[in-house]
Structure 1
Amino acid sequence: MLNKLACSITHLLDARREGHSLPAGLYTREDVFQADLEVFFFSHWIYVGLECDVPEPGDATVIDISNTSLILLRDDDNEIRVVRNVCRHRGSRILDPGSTVVSKLVCPYHQWTYELNGELSYAPHMGKDFDKSCKSLKAVDFRSIGGLIYVCLSDNPPEDIADLENAMLDRLAPYDIRNAKVAHQIDVIEKGNWKLTMENNRECYHCSANHPELCVSFIDLDFGYDPESLSPADRQQAEEHFAMYNARTAAWEADGFPSATIEHTRNVETNFRSQRLIIAGAGESQTEDATAASSKLLGHMTRKDLGDMHLWGHNSWNHFMGDHAVTSMVIPLSPDKTLVRTKWLVHKDAVEGVDYDLEKLTHVWTETTEQDAELVARSYAGILDSAYEPGPYSRFSEGALDEFATWYIERMRAHGY
């Protein structure tokens, strides 16, 4: 039988109307926030980083999710590891937040020392009968999907992560993200609930009015429109665009580049969507003039006309282009604060100032992320108001939001709420 807390959340879930945004409490309440962490960040697969975050043996970086701390590192055998940032002695944190280089993992408290594969190698003054073999750092279940690191903190991780792996293996291969490098990173704290951050990213209804830099290369029609609201000339233009889109997709696929839309967003555990999007204007990259930011293309790429390989997850969004990639990770901090960590990736041998200009590389998504942060804050402030009531999604432009809200309700119920 559900406890009182769960029943209270269940009432909110029951109150959600199909085709509408969520009841206010699902965005604002602390008990819901804690349930969200347990269900969506501790029981599902989440994106946490990249193999190229730790390019050399001894490279390590810490990812904190609420009270849980993980270490992503590369060991002496050049293998990726993800371990809990908790000493097996008395629980001290081993590494501080951020990135570092280590030869071993040494707990600062009592100097318990672990090899980079997590094995305990030194525990002073514990006696001859102390068995070090059972005190390795706790390993975390992870998958590297084309160089993107997904972890699951559950003892029973969803098996349909295989669907994501199968879908993205060929799509990501030409970009060779494992051998890219992080050219730049920014952390933005949005003043709103993590679900608002994800909802905002899953629609472009707001793009033309709020993202002038992005709209140079983004085509908002690709995210839906109401044909009856268009003039005959604009409707004809939209029809011509989608005819061209279908032809371009067919040509890409004929050339061996998977491009068609994959929707894995309802009646599933691992939520994702992928599609190769056309880039507007010059058609090369998401920059202020839609031309490539880096003359050295990513991985094995030889073409700049392959659009934007787009990948959504329930805590991430990613754009892979011929010259660079942009990845964003979402980590909830509280009901009203969300971390958005964005990274720009280039070829591992690309040199700043020679092969790419950092300002051109980062300008569009720096501006877009700041604009989105303001929109999320405005949305959250309105939801806190007693006048808020869930509003209808546009069936033309916000269908992905309805899918996300429906999936959210499904997964909460599957976990007993």
Structure 2
Amino acid sequence: MTELLGDPATVRRTSILDHLDRRTPGHSLPGVLYTDPEVFASEIELLWRRRWLFVGTVAEVPEPGDYLTFDVAGSSVLVIRDDDEQVRAFHNVCRHRGSRLVTAGQGSVGNLVCGYHSWTYATDGSLRYAPQLSPSIDTTCLGLRPVALREVGGLLYCSLADSPDDDLDAVAAQVRDYLTPHRLDRAKVAAQVDLVEEGNWKLVMENNRECYHCEGGHPELTCTFFPTWGLREDQVPERLRGDHDRYLLAEADLARRCDELGIPHRLLEDLVGRPLGFRIQREPLDGAGESFSPDGSRLVGRLLGDLADPRLGRCTFHTQPNAWIHLLADHVVTFSVTPISPDRTLVRSTWLVSADAVEGVDYDVESLTAVWRATNAQDAVFVRNTQLGVADPAYVPGPYNEAERQVDDFVRWYEAQIRSEARIPSPRGGSDG
């Protein structure tokens, strides 16, 4: 078959498109798209090496020489703040014989020194020292290879593409005013937790895109996360009517409060039709309406940025393929998704607080992280069980309901992006819609 169709990548593209052709619109994906190593390899090639990916925040590299690493699609990206306070990204590969420059996930350096042969690079990526290198070799051509990096309201995105698309800039223009009041440039990391979920990366993203499972699945989260999220009026079951009425009152109060403060809150979304599918909205929290705590009260004594009102609900920003972020008045929690294998996915959760907040005085790490540590553990079970199910020969894709609209949007985006990069149109005339 390879001889007839060409190189292995072409064979893989043909295979993934064949599977997409068999998908029933409005239904979950065929099981093979969650389990097949060849499909996974196509996704790495067509999506993860070509789209903008959330990698972290400026708060994670606050000082010159501070760095973080982001490993995805076989590449290791080094994000570092240089001596001129600029945040840059490079391939974490020495220009000599390819050794990894840094092996820690985060740290701080004066210069970047390769542990193999001591080639030394400045924080701007230029080669400063190479022992015994011939003087005839032009060292200006041996700086670290750059990776495209953009900042959006303190959030950092990179692209491994040789010529990245400009869609992130267009999205940034729409969402920046939602993010900047939280001043992530004046925040610090309070905690970071890595969790490897035993499921395909798409299942992790799909699970996050609905709260159909929240009422019984996330008791800690639904103390403040209204269980009717994502439902229209006519979809609210009678048993949740009281919760929904409380949500409507809180929504109206939040809108009034944000309008008075000049803080944007209305829904903006384009989840299907662009390379960087996104959704952003400020929504109310239950209880005191301030934070992710059992009664909704604030968890951090010092608010972020110049915010003076703790009751600002949650501004949730979602980008495809790999991030969701909750920005509250007292803290921010970011989530990044990174595929490891067809059935393993890294979920990194990072909690940010004001740089002036003092641990043990203004906040307690256990209390700050409790809700999402519990929620992540619960979601990991849901994802694992679903991975087991979609790998079962008995699995037949089922229909989405209205509460799962954003799941369907994600799947439609996925199909559209795969087809766009594979340059083969859908036999249905485009993505499902």
Task: Find the aligned partners of 2:404 and 2:227 in 1 and give their Cα distance.
Answer: 12
Equivalent residue runs for 1:70-109 within 5 Å: 70-109=77-116
Report the TM-score, using the length of structure 2 for normalisation.
Answer: 0.92
Q: Is the 8 A contact 1:119 1:133 kept in 2?
A: yes
Report the AA paired with residue 33 of structure 1.
Answer: F
AA paired with 2:164? P
C-alpha deviation, 1:236, in angstroms: 8.0
**Which residue in 2 is equivalent to 1:372?**
379
Tell me if 1:354 matches 2:349. no
Match for residue 286 of structure 1?
A: 292
Amino acid in the other structure paired with 1:242: L
Q: Judge conservation of contact 1:158–1:270 (CA < 8 Å) in 2.
A: no
Percent identity between the aligned chains?
41
1:132 equivalenced with 2:151 (yes/no): no
Q: CA RMSD in A?
A: 1.7
Q: Give distance in 2, aligned partners of 1:409 and 1:202.
A: 16
Where does 1:76-225 land on structure 2 (aligned, <5 Å)? 76-224=83-231
2:29 counterpart of 1:22 = yes
Note if 1:43 corresponds to 2:37: no
SS of alignment partner, residue 223 of structure 1: coil
Query: Judging changes above 3 Å, is the alpha-carbon distance between structure 1 residues 350 and 244 closer, same or farther for their aligned structure 2 residues?
Result: closer
| Alignment partner of 1:272 is 2:295 | no
Which amino acid in the other structure matches residue 179 of structure 1? Answer: R
Q: Distance in 1 between matches of 2:79 and 2:255?
A: 36
Q: Report the counterpart of residue 32 of structure 1 in structure 2.
A: 39
State the alpha-carbon separation in 2 of the partners of residues 344 and 261 from structure 1. Answer: 24
Extract unaligned runs of 5+ from structure 1.
none
User: Any idea what SS the aligned residue of 1:301 has?
Assistant: coil
Higher mean C-alpha displacement, 250-259 vs 153-162: 250-259
Aligned to 1:258: 264
Residue 294 of structure 2 aligns with an amino acid whose one-letter code is: E
Give the counterpart letter for 2:400 in structure 1: Y
The answer as to 2:329 corresponding to 1:308 is no
Looking at structure 2, the residues matched to 247 and 296 of structure 1 have their Cα atoms a distance apart, in angstroms, of 23
Shift of 1:237: 6.7
Q: Is the 8 A contact 2:254 2:283 kept in 1?
A: no
Q: Give the AA of the match of 1:213.
A: E
SS, match of residue 118 in structure 2: coil
Instruction: Say whether the 8 Å CA contact 1:63–1:97 is kept in structure 2.
Output: no
Q: Distance in 1 between matches of 2:224 and 2:249?
A: 19
Say which SS state the counterpart of residue 309 (structure 1) adopts.
strand
CA distance in 1, matches of 2:357, 2:246: 38
**Aligned 8 A contact 1:141 1:152 in 2:** yes
When residues 53 and 240 of structure 1 are mapped into structure 2, their CA distance, relative to the original with a 3 A threshold, is: closer
Residue 427 of structure 2 corresponds to none
- Residue 55 (str. 1) matches residue 62 (str. 2): yes
Query: Counterpart of 2:229 in 1: which secondary structure?
Result: helix
Matched with 2:418 is 412
Q: Hey, what does 2:408 align to over in structure 1?
A: 402
**One-letter amino acid of the counterpart of residue 48, structure 2:** F
Cα distance in structure 2, aligned partners of 1:359 and 1:383? 35
Q: Deviations over 1:214-262 (max 9, x none)?
A: 000101212215736633x855874674365256325523431100111
Task: Report the Cα offset of residue 179 of structure 1.
Answer: 1.7
Match of 2:394, SS? Answer: coil
Deviates more, 1:382-391 or 1:55-64: 55-64
The aligned counterpart of 2:389 is: 382
SS in 2 for 1:403: helix
Structure 1 pair 32–288 and aligned structure 2 pair: CA distance change class (3 A): same
Query: What is the number of residues matched between the two proteins?
Result: 415
Question: What letter corresponds to residue 194 of structure 1 in structure 2?
Answer: W
- The question of whether the paired residues in 2 share the 8 Å contact of 1:199 and 1:401 is answered with yes
Distance change (3 Å), C-alpha of 1:4 and 1:34: closer
Return 176-185 or 159-168, whichever deviates more. Answer: 159-168
| Contact map agreement 1:308 1:319 (CA 8 A) in 2 | yes
Gaps of 5+ in 2: 425-433
SS at match of 1:273: strand
Shift of 1:185: 0.6
